[in-house]
């Protein structure tokens, strides 16, 4: 049985850990509100650009822009979005496991572009070829942060080095729920539903082809930016829940250690009283 000194040392260590996890919980909670607001406010823009692209697709086809053209064969490129830091509960492991399952079930010539250190390290250990790596974009991702990533992907596709681009990221559902998801990025597949409005009734200036040429790269960057925002909100919510659980576990452990400490203390007091009584009787 451990001594009173050892138990006191363990209680002190657990209390220090509890202070750290509680502080991290509060920091994550403050960041979550900002990340959640950014994610939810960006969703309408992403949905509207899908609608505009669907209207354009009703008057144009794959021959009007190479990003709309389907290609047979070719390398598959997967953009994997994870976090740079850990202590985010099962968020990264779920996303990485989802990506590993996708790679295993659909083998072939493929490469990865990783966003976030956790995904990069996991894919390196699995010996999956990594075309490029981008570190996380901080606590406040900006649209300009994903522009180099979007340009790299578009250039690789236009050069014919890849025939398909997918993105795997975590989707923010609620504070307690985040789900890994795969989305097709290239070739662009505009939504078929145009709300029953024939696209040819719209007038595009200077012409539909030019509008499409300007819109598609922006569309790719917008999809990437939305994925980064979703992952950031998922990270902060998962970290807040994980740190709250760790704080509660530390409190339970302190209670158990305190009970053990009192038992050992009571045992020592009883033993000392018996020794004193035995010594007095011996005299």
Q: What is the pLDDT of residues 100-155, one digit of tens each?
A: 999 988 888 888 999 989 999 999 998 888 999 998 687 888 888 899 999 999 88
What number of other Cβ atoms are within 10 A of residue 260's Cβ? Answer: 16
For residues 33 and 84, state if they share a domain. Answer: yes
Which residues constitute the domain of residue 171? Answer: 22-241
Beta-carbon contacts of residue 62 (< 8 Å; ≥ 6 apart): 68, 69, 70, 187
pLDDT band at 64 (very low <50, low <70, confident <90, very high): low
For residues 271 and 162, state if they share a domain. Answer: no
For residues 220 and 255, state if they share a domain. Answer: no
Please count the structural domains in the chain.
Answer: 2
Q: Which of 90-94, 165-169, 188-192, 228-232 has the lowest mean pLDDT?
A: 188-192
pLDDT (tens digit, 9 = 90+) per residue, 2-58? 788 888 899 999 999 999 999 999 999 888 888 888 888 888 888 888 777 777 766
Q: Which of 73-77, 182-186, 256-260 has the lowest mean pLDDT?
A: 73-77
What number of other Cβ atoms are within 10 A of residue 172's Cβ? Answer: 25
Q: Which of 185-194, 217-226, 258-267 has the lowest mean pLDDT?
A: 185-194
How many whole angstroms separate alpha carbon 31 and alpha carbon 74?
41
Task: State yes or no: pLDDT of 63 exceeds 70.
Answer: no
Here the CATH number for the domain that contains residue 160 is 3.40.1380.10
Look at residues 180, 216, 244 and name the one whose alpha carbon lies nearest to residue 52: 216
Q: Which of 96-110, 193-207, 238-252, 254-268 has the lowest mean pLDDT?
A: 193-207
Task: State yes or no: pLDDT of 199 exceeds 70.
Answer: no
Model pTM score: 0.81
Average pLDDT over residues 179-183: 91
How many whole angstroms separate alpha carbon 229 and alpha carbon 227?
5
Look at residues 52, 25, 106, 119 and name the one whose alpha carbon lies nearest to residue 79: 119
Task: State yes or no: pLDDT of 81 exceeds 90.
Answer: yes
Q: What is the CA radius of gyration of the chain?
A: 28
**What share of the chain in percent tops pLDDT 90?**
33
Task: State yes or no: pLDDT of 273 exceeds 90.
Answer: no
For residues 81 and 58, state if they share a domain. Answer: yes
DSSP H or E stretch at residue 174: strand 162-174
Task: State yes or no: pLDDT of 189 exceeds 90.
Answer: no
How many whole angstroms separate alpha carbon 198 and alpha carbon 196?
6
108 or 189, which is more confident? 108
For residues 101 and 169, state if they share a domain. Answer: yes
* Residue 80 near residue 185, CB atoms below 8 Å: no
The pLDDT of residue 175 is: 84
For residues 219 and 250, state if they share a domain. Answer: no
For residues 216 and 101, state if they share a domain. Answer: yes
Beta-carbon contacts of residue 16 (< 8 Å; ≥ 6 apart): none
* Residue 31 near residue 236, CB atoms below 8 Å: yes
For residues 181 and 169, state if they share a domain. Answer: yes
Look at residues 151, 169, 148 and name the one whose alpha carbon lies nearest to residue 228: 169
Strand, coil or helix: 111: strand
For residues 163 and 253, state if they share a domain. Answer: no
Q: Average per-residue pLDDT in the chain?
A: 84
How many whole angstroms separate alpha carbon 201 and alpha carbon 53?
15
The pLDDT of residue 266 is: 86
For residues 138 and 71, state if they share a domain. Answer: yes
The pLDDT of residue 202 is: 57
For residues 187 and 81, state if they share a domain. Answer: yes
Going across the sheet that includes 130-134, the strands are 130-134, 110-115, 75-81, 162-174, 177-186
Task: State yes or no: pLDDT of 79 exceeds 90.
Answer: yes
259 or 61, which is more confident? 259
How many whole angstroms separate alpha carbon 24 and alpha carbon 16?
13
Structure tokens at 71: 């290609």
For residues 8 and 71, state if they share a domain. Answer: no
């Amino acid at each position: 049985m451990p001594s009173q000194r050892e138990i006191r040392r363990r209680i002190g260590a657990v209390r220090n850990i509890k202070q750290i996890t509680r502080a991290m919980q509060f920091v994550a909670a403050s960041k979550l509100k900002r990340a959640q607001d950014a994610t939810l406010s960006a969703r309408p823009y992403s949905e509207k650009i899908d609608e505009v692209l669907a209207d354009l697709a009703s008057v144009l086809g794959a021959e009007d822009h190479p990003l709309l053209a389907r290609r047979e064969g070719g390398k598959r490129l997967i953009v994997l979005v994870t976090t740079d830091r850990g202590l985010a509960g099962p968020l990264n492991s779920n996303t990485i496991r989802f990506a590993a399952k996708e790679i295993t079930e659909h083998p072939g010539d493929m490469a990865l572009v990783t966003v976030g250190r956790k995904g990069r390290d996991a894919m390196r250990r699995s010996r999956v070829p990594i075309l490029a790596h981008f570190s996380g974009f901080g606590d406040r991702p900006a649209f300009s942060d994903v522009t180099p990533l979007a340009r790299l992907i578009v250039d690789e596709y236009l050069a014919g080095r890849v025939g398909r681009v997918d993105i795997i990221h975590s989707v923010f559902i609620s504070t307690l729920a985040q789900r890994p998801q795969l989305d097709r990025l290239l070739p662009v597949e505009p939504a078929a539903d145009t709300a029953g409005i024939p696209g040819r009734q719209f007038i595009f200036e200077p012409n539909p082809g030019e509008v499409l040429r300007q819109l598609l790269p922006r569309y790719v960057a917008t999809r990437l930016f939305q994925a980064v925002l979703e992952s950031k909100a998922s990270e902060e919510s998962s970290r807040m829940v994980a740190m709250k659980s760790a704080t509660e576990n530390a409190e339970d452990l302190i209670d158990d250690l305190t009970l053990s400490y009192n038992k050992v203390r009571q045992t020592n007091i009883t033993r000392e009283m018996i020794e004193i009584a035995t010594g007095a009787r011996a005299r």
